Structure 1
């Protein structure tokens, strides 16, 4: 099984990967439990805050139902730090040779951001065929993704960027889309206020999304 297949297997048919920014590591465990209870086991915690690695570490150690990964990984050092913290997958906004090398030397799969045919071809040559399409809405959305399906048939995508409950099902209907990424299931203000029941409800709604 390739690492991309491993990542899709970990996803388990989940239609939405929550993209989460955690400012306080103490919020990580109850948030992950709420999302998992709502049917979203796989979550991405972005490395945009000082508490991000500690948040990943706590979820990996304390929330058995969650599959936690790290997002906004920009270089091999961050890749290694995120993997050491317990990340089961790594997400980057773009694709670089150094990240490809870091992923090649690790059992942790990489979900790299791509937009152009050249970037996608580079990923495919490296054996990575499950890719983040980012920023999705700004880069052409579903129309652009459909145009990639024939010439780059091996590539499968998780579009992220500008996706919400309003357009997620439209993306999920595109043949080369496996899932979408979004932050609407765990808004910053709800995390800050500890509204875990509301987040669980939003996760349950998102986990039930089907192609439009």
Structure 2
């Protein structure tokens, strides 16, 4: 099933993963990413103050940024994330309770999967897309191999995507990529170098928008 959120993600192609950033830097980080063309932000729940950050970002950036929660490992975390205003939930694992609850609440869940069996199971249960993780360890051509029999299932490739391989990953048919430290660089944020965050975002978005699918 194609939804408005998924259609927008397929167009934008990048989810910026905000993990472990210094407390109080959420708004400046988000502004820097937005200035570079990124509109999907995944705030991981193992980040200090994550729930407050999600709530504040939803309020301050209105419909300009699509803010979701990441590292949603169980039902309790899913409930807290949705209560904070998360537009979508992402996890490194497939937890069927989280997926079912998200669907009940009208919130999309993109669970973490690695094997074809997990991918098909998640999609059968109602996931509109799956996160394929960790793509850096599996190899970027793993997406191509998965897409051969499973091209009907949208996939977000995460873990190890960088400026050198993003075009290849997307070219093999990934709907989008999740970018953590290679884009949301905590070292730059700690130094207050948000201009460089914007430049990185611009570089990634430029590459992503110029991809031709060859899978």
TM-score relative to the length of structure 1 = 0.91
Q: Secondary structure at the match of 1:90?
A: strand
Which residue does 2:129 correspond to in 1? 130
Separation (CA, whole Å) in 2 of partners of 1:7 and 1:171: 21
1:206 deviation in Å? 1.1
Paired position in structure 1 for 2:73: 74
Shift of residue 42 of structure 1?
0.8
Q: CA deviation at 1:102?
A: 1.3
Query: How much does 1:134 deviate?
Result: 0.5
The alpha-carbon distance between structure 1 residues 7 and 141, as it changes in their structure 2 partners (threshold 3 A), is farther
Pair 1:58-2:56 in alignment:
yes
5 Å-filtered alignment, 1:145-160, equals 145-160=143-158
Match of residue 175 from structure 2:
178
Contact 1:22 1:45 in 2 (8 A): no
CA distance in 1, matches of 2:7, 2:151: 20
Is the CA contact (8 Å cut-off) linking 2:183 and 2:201 kept in structure 1? yes
Deviation at 1:180, TM superposition (A): 0.7
1:90 equivalent to 2:86? Answer no
SS of the aligned residue for 2:43 comes to strand
Instruction: Give the distance between the partners of 1:19 and 1:50, measured in 2 at CA.
Output: 14
Q: 2-side partners of 1:41 and 1:52: how far apart? A: 18
Q: TM-score, normalised by structure 2?
A: 0.90
Q: CA deviation at 1:86?
A: 1.6
Q: CA deviation at 1:12?
A: 5.8
Mapped partners of 2:200, 2:66: distance in 1: 18
Q: Is the 8 A contact 1:20 1:46 kept in 2?
A: yes
Deviations 1:135-174 (A, max 9, x none): 1121x22322212223223212110011111111110101
1: distance between equivalents of 2:18 and 2:47? 11
CA contact (8 A) 2:132 2:155 kept: yes
* Structure 1: segments with no counterpart, 5+ residues: none
Which secondary structure state, in structure 2, belongs to the residue aligned with residue 39 of structure 1?
Answer: coil
Cα distance in 2 between the residues matched to 1:22 and 1:62: 20
What's the offset of the Cα at 1:192? 1.5
8 A contact 1:47–1:53 mirrored in 2: yes
- Which residue number corresponds to residue 5 of structure 1? 3
Q: Which runs of 4+ in 1 moved over 4 A?
A: none
Superposed CA RMSD in Å reads 1.7
* Mapping of residues 30-45 of structure 1, within 5 Å: 30-45=28-43
